Amino acid sequence: MRRKFIAGNWKMHNGPAATKEFLNKFAAELKASPETGKNIESGAEEIAFFVPAVSLLTAVQESSGMPVIIGAENCHWELKGAFTGETSVPMITEIGATHTLVGHSERRHIFRETDEELNKKMHTAVDGTLIAVLCVGETLEEREAGKAFDVIKRQFGEGLKGFDAATAAEKIIIAYEPVWAIGTGKTASVDDAEEVCRFIRGLAKETFGAETAEKLIILYGGSVKPENTAGIMAQPDIDGVLVGGASLKPEVFIEIVKNAI
């Protein structure tokens, strides 16, 4: 049985003060939901928050003793150097964060990050002991042109170049986020989401073999909210969700966590 992975992606929201306030409120929500605590303890479910770089330290400190994972939203592929404004993997691990997103669609489309750069980030993150969540997803234009599967195949293949099966199974998570469903209120239908996630598991099987494909955690993201979580999570190839807007309120996000199991 693959574990469920329920993650918030805060994007450019929540500085240190708001992070502290959020996590204190979320701790109270968790306390009020002992069922969730049991699911986490048994390893059936993981909860993660991907937070802005300036809030990582506060998030790690404030969540100490709480069963939540703290991750970065982005990292650089070099370990150090003249890269003004960037955050390195050693900086992220020094703070105590354990995960990072790589290639979120906003990084690909607004900041023009390429598959080649994202592959370098994946390797630096994993070599630096982080678990890396590679985000893939097609634009509306690509979907309408019938190219969705080609795009996913390219992003998966290029992003994971050079990884072996054991590393892929243990250190990598894939998030399928159709660009047209992010922040738009349009969720992919559960059938469409499952179809692509099944396709991704198939790619994993071709690339790394059946055992790794079975272990690989695959998330869906794009306008996930409490009301659509259970339907998405009922799909056999979807193991979790990556939540943007609906992860910003503790009382909303806890409902997603509860509906995911």
Closest distance of CB 242 from ligand PGA, Å: 5
Nearest to 113 by CA among 54, 150, 174, 155: 155
Cβ at position 245, least distance to ligand PGA in Å = 4
What is the b/e burial string over 76-112, where b = at least 16 CB atoms within 10 angstroms of the residue's CB? bbeeeeeeeeebbbebbbebebbbbbbbbbbbbeeee
Residues assigned a catalytic role: 104, 177
* Residue 91: half-sphere exposure toward Cβ, Cα within 13 Å: 18
Q: Closer CB to ligand PGA, residue 40 or residue 103?
A: 103
* 71 vs 245, beta carbon nearer ligand PGA: 245
Task: Please report, as ranges, the residues that interact with ligand PGA according to CB under 6 A.
Answer: 9, 177, 182-183, 221-224, 242-246
Question: Strands, DSSP E only, in 94-176?
Answer: 99-102, 131-136, 172-176
Using DSSP bridges, classify how beta strands 240-243 and 172-176 pair: parallel, antiparallel or unpaired: unpaired
